[in-house]
Structure formats: C-alpha cells, structure tokens
Amino acid sequence: MTTPSEQDQPDSGADRPEPRYGQYAPAGWQPPGGSTPPPAPPGQGWGAAPGWGADQPLGYRQPGAQPGPTPPGQHPPTAPPVQQFRPMAAQPGIVPLRPLSVWEIIDGAFRAVRHNPKVMFGVTVVGVAISVLISAVITWYTSPFTTDLIRDVYSDLGTAGADDIASLIGPVYATVFSLPVSLVFTQIITGVLIRSVSQSVLGRVVSPGEVFRGQGGRLARVVGFAALTVLVAVLGGAALIGLVVLVGQSSAAGAVLLGLLGGLLFLAAALWFGVRTLLVPAGLMLEGGAFWATVVRGWRLTRGGFWRLTGLYVLVTIASMIVAGIIATPVQLIAMLITQDQTLTGFTAVAITSVGDVIATTLTTVFAAGAYALAYIDARMRTEGLDVELARAAAQG
C-alpha cells in the first residue's frame, strides 16, 4: 500500500521487463523504491470499502455506536440493511480483470470486435476471402472427377438412379480436397484474432501489421496442432468404421448396433477431446513456450472448469451453425434461381455461394476466436491469478 506522497516519486523499477501473457505474477512484488510502505492510520485503507476491515470477510459490517435502551412501550428502531461491499475489479479493456461468467465471455467477444474492427473484421475478411476463393476453385475443378467416380461405383453396383446420386453427392466429396486450405487459413486467422483479443483485454489496440509481426513460429504451431487434432479424429473414425465392417461380415444386426453405439461414443469422445484442447491454440499464441509443454498446460487448464467450458463450446458451436445457416441458405437459393443449377457445381453458382461463405465464415470465426481467447484468459485468472499480472501490465501501459 502506498501513500499519496509516495505516488509522486519516480519509479526506480522502470527497467523491469514488461509482463507478458504466460508469465506468473512475481512473488513478493513491492512498490517502486524497494521500501515497505508505512502502515495506514487506523480506520483507513486504500482500496478497502468503508465499513469492513482487511481481516473481515466481505459483507461483514463493523459495529458502530450501539443505540441506547429502548424506552418502555416503544419498538426498537429497525436496523438498516447490511450492505455487501465488493471490491471493484479493474477493467482497462473489454472485460473486467476477474473470473468471468459465460455471458461475460460472449459479451467480451462482441466488444473485441468493436474495440479493434480493423483486425477483427478487416484481417478476417481478407483471409477468409482468399481461403474461400482457393477452396472454390479446387471444388469446382475436382467436382467432375468425384461425380464421375461415384457414378461409376453406383453403376457397377447396379443401383438405380446412379446419375442423380452422383450429381448430388459428388460435389460434397469434392470439398474434401479443399479442407487443408481451409484448415490452414482458418487457424492462421484464429491465431491473429487471439492476439488481438489478448491486447484488447489490456485496453490496447494493435494494428494489422503488429498482430503478424514476429508471430510466424507461433502461427505455425497453431496450424500444426489443428492438423494433429484432425489426424486424431480421422484415425478414430477410421478405426470405428473398420470395426463395424469387420463385425458386419458375421452379423449385420451386430454391425448396425455397433455403428449406432459407436457413433454416439465417437461424438461424445469428440466433444470431450474438443473441450479439453479448447484452450491450447490460445496458449500456443500467447505463451511462446515449447509445443508439447504448452499442449499439456492447455489440457490441464480445462480440468477445473470442464463443464463451464463445455457449455461455452456448445453455445458457440450452435450459434455459429445458426448464423452460417441463416446466411448460406438464402445465398444458395439465389444461386439456384439465377443459374438454374440445382447441384451448384457450375462456375457461376460456385462464385455466388462463395460470397455467402465469406460472410458466414467471417462472422463465425471472429465470434469463436474471441470467445475462446477470453475463455483461456478466464481460466488463467481463475487458476493462476493472471488478473493481477494483467492489471499491472495495463498500468505500465
């Protein structure tokens, strides 16, 4: 605690390095000057609300002057309601520096967009547009190949309507070839947005150039981790399909039952794995530590708040799906009416639907990245006291 006169003295610790995300609050930190400030006079305290002492729990009201005895025949005066005093959390940026509720995280994601729209929207729109353009060209180019392949397969099986089936699902399979492009661009954009949100928490506005400067290695780690999670999901799904096929050779009913139960277990495992790794990308972007050490650390951060993070994950996922559907469906209908192409595989149809994809992907990516970045900061404020470190960093500018 410092006295007002001490605040005017110059800071002798100006050469102390500025705290960054990923550092713990230094133990035993003292005010500038290196000396311990004198105790405050009795009954006073900086940062303490009047009416309760430092050694009393919040909401405990100190006794004042006791009223005299009530005269006979009169009722004692009604005691005023006990006031609950809560210390105000510092808020230099988009959220208060204290543990956050789910709704505060959601609100903070929208505040992050308003705080730095050049990065949150500008960079995202450019990145998503490039990604969608490349993906659309790949899909348009590979659709005839996948359609012909599926038509040949169903024709060999003697399936009626092989042409109609191929024209419907052929373009869907063609999108598989563009998934690596979407993965790389989405993760790069997400990493950039995480960095912007982390600075908005401190009240700082970073430029588009600043969010990319010196971040190549961290962005590569984010992309690598995303590829690793996709690989785990693909291997798990392939193992389940192989097991179902193996059982189906001896029992069709057993294969169906295994497929249903295995599918439900696979979805539950995917949800659990997604939540446990939810904070890893933010850690890779903000901490700068070793790859596997950061992955393990992000995994452990979710341990105490698994259900809270699950609720946030489900909420963000459902909201993103709704927004994407609201935007993409009308655009697809417009493309069908203009081009008379029911499969949406022609060049004009792909170009029109790509516009809707850019809008939908931009909105959902910005929202999800902001929410998950704040969830990471919230988890560290709950478990490591990061709010103290952030408040100190914000005060230093």
pLDDT(61) > 70: no
- Per the CB < 8 A criterion, the answer to whether 320 and 367 are in contact is yes
Q: Sign of the CA dihedral 256, 258, 263, 268?
A: positive
Q: How confident is the model at residue 104, as a pLDDT?
A: 95
Work out the pLDDT band at 8, boundaries 50, 70, 90.
very low
Q: Does residue 360 lie within any of the structural domains?
A: yes
258: amino acid identity, one letter: L
Q: How confident is the model at residue 106, as a pLDDT?
A: 96
Q: Does residue 56 lie within any of the structural domains?
A: no
pLDDT(178) > 90: no
- For 220-279, the pLDDT digits (tens) are 999 999 999 999 999 999 999 899 888 888 888 888 899 899 999 999 999 999 999 999
More confident residue, 389 or 123: 123
Q: Cβ neighbours of residue 238 under 8 Å, at least 6 residues apart? A: none
Share of the chain above pLDDT 90, in %: 48
165/81 Cα distance (integer angstroms)? 72
pLDDT(39) > 80: no
Work out the pLDDT band at 36, boundaries 50, 70, 90.
very low
Q: How confident is the model at residue 29, as a pLDDT?
A: 44
Q: Sign of the CA dihedral 346, 352, 356, 361?
A: positive
Residue 11: CB atoms within 10 A of its CB come to 11
Q: How confident is the model at residue 177, as a pLDDT?
A: 86
Share of the chain above pLDDT 70, in %: 76
Task: List own/partner pairs for 232-236 with CB under 8 A and 24 or more apart.
Answer: 232/273, 233/270, 233/273, 236/266, 236/269, 236/270
Q: Does residue 281 lie within any of the structural domains?
A: yes
Q: Does residue 33 lie within any of the structural domains?
A: no
Q: Does residue 51 lie within any of the structural domains?
A: no
Task: List own/partner pairs for 44-47 with CB under 8 A and 24 or more apart.
Answer: 45/1, 46/1, 46/2, 47/1, 47/87
Q: How confident is the model at residue 71, as a pLDDT?
A: 53
pLDDT(167) > 60: yes
Q: How confident is the model at residue 96, as a pLDDT?
A: 93
Q: Does residue 47 lie within any of the structural domains?
A: no
Work out the pLDDT band at 296, boundaries 50, 70, 90.
very high
Domain of residue 150: give its range: 102-395
Q: Does residue 197 lie within any of the structural domains?
A: yes
Q: Does residue 23 lie within any of the structural domains?
A: no
* Domain total of the chain: 1
pLDDT(87) > 80: no
